[in-house]
Amino acid sequence: MSVTFLAYLLVNGCTQAPETGDDDINYPYKIVTTIGQITDIAREVAGDKARVKGLMGPGIDPHLYMPTRSDVAAMMEADIIFYCGLLLEGKMTDVFVRIARQGKPVYAVTELIDQDYLLQPEEFEGQFDPHLWMDVRAWKRAVNAVTRALGDFDPAHAEIYEKNAEEYLTKLEELHEYAERVLGTVPEDRRILVTAHDAFNYFGRAYEFDVRGIQGITTDSEAGLQDINRLIDLIVERDIGAVFIETSVAEKNVRALIEGARSRGADVRIGGTLFSDAMGASGTYEGTYVGMIDHNVTTITRALGGEAPERGLHGKLRLIEKEEKGR
């Protein structure tokens, strides 16, 4: 058993929060989260009962993220902490272990996901794919995990958290139904999603797409020439017209892929920029989980020949795809 995986088990064994009464809490209390997708859940469920600080903003790769001194200080001052788990935040594991051992409630939001549901790529034996937010219905279980944890921490307002969560889950179900509907318009022979790294496996399973990433489920490795050549062969053989870059992963491998495919006569372009491990800018629609998935679903659908509203589910999307034309 690796040291990192052992640390993961220790964190999950030390994360049960003690019940806390209303008299023991100073409102708004402090929540610290890691990735933006969890920050969004915490803000929606906690409402005005807490201030939520997300450590990782737009364009940040959680696989490679090293906590700063201010991050550690924020976690030490927090009343409750939420992270993804499944080793997504691999370089932060030791910090979570130390904080949890001091009795602070630290929760992995993926803890309610049954292991039978998790994907385990062959090339990462012993490690589950952590990118569950790409499957909207799976991510609803993360909402339930946060709701339960906040109810345990602050039982006096558990009903408020449950009500907030119910409203948020309704939005997510609408999002999932939109994704199924518009992605279903992409012709079956074009449902091939080529991206910078394997962050979209749950997306592929949920919405019936063949997903191929240049890098594996973590970006903490370089893609080899053999990996790129294999994808070039796929693009040429299956006449794939569009591949996608990601906001939190360098573009160089995707550019090399396109150049290699074009050198063999393939008519391939960048279909758009997708949000994978990070969401959009704070204060924008794409800076919310709903906006992030709406953007991805709409961009993929339109680039691969399906039919989706130009501005997405709620008409709020910026027309980012137009910036990609001609690239």
Per-residue pLDDT band at 222 (split at 50, 70, 90): low
Q: Does the pLDDT of residue 320 top 60, yes or no?
A: no
Per-residue pLDDT band at 90 (split at 50, 70, 90): confident
On the CB side of 288, how many CA atoms lie within 13 Å of its CA? Answer: 15
In the chain, % of residues over pLDDT 70: 87
State pLDDT tens for residues 119-158.
997 766 678 999 999 999 999 999 999 999 999 999 999 9
Contact 257, 231 (CB under 8 A): yes
Tokens encoding 58: 């737009």
Report pLDDT for 234: 93
User: Can you tell me the distance from the alpha carbon of 37 to that of 49, in angstroms, rounded to the nearest whole number?
Assistant: 19
**What is the residue-wise DSSP string for 102-142?**
TT--EEEGGGGS-GGGS---GGGTT-----GGGSHHHHHHH
Per-residue pLDDT band at 73 (split at 50, 70, 90): very high
> Between β-strands 242-246 and 80-83, what pairing exists: parallel, antiparallel or unpaired?
unpaired
Q: Does the pLDDT of residue 44 top 60, yes or no?
A: yes
Instruction: Give the residue-averaged pLDDT of 45-56.
Output: 98
Integer angstrom CA distances of residue 60 from 36, 135, 214, 302? 10, 20, 19, 26
**What structural domains does the chain harbor?**
3-173 (3.40.50.1980), 180-324 (3.40.50.1980)
State pLDDT tens for residues 28-37.
999 999 999 9
Per-residue pLDDT band at 198 (split at 50, 70, 90): confident
Other beta carbons within 10 angstroms of residue 31's beta carbon come to 26
Kindly state the DSSP code that residue 187 receives in the 8-state scheme.
-
Tokens encoding 251: 């573009």
Instruction: Give the residue-averaged pLDDT of 187-201.
Output: 92
SS3 273: strand
State pLDDT tens for residues 295-310.
999 999 999 999 999 9
Cβ within 8 Å of residue 142, ≥6 positions away: 37, 38, 41, 109, 110, 112, 113, 132, 133
Burial 11-23 (b: 16+ CB within 10 A, else e): bbebbebeebeee
Average pLDDT over the chain, rounded to an integer = 88
Peptide bond into 58 cis (omega under 30): no
- Flag whether the pTM goes above 0.85: yes
Q: Does the pLDDT of residue 223 top 70, yes or no?
A: no
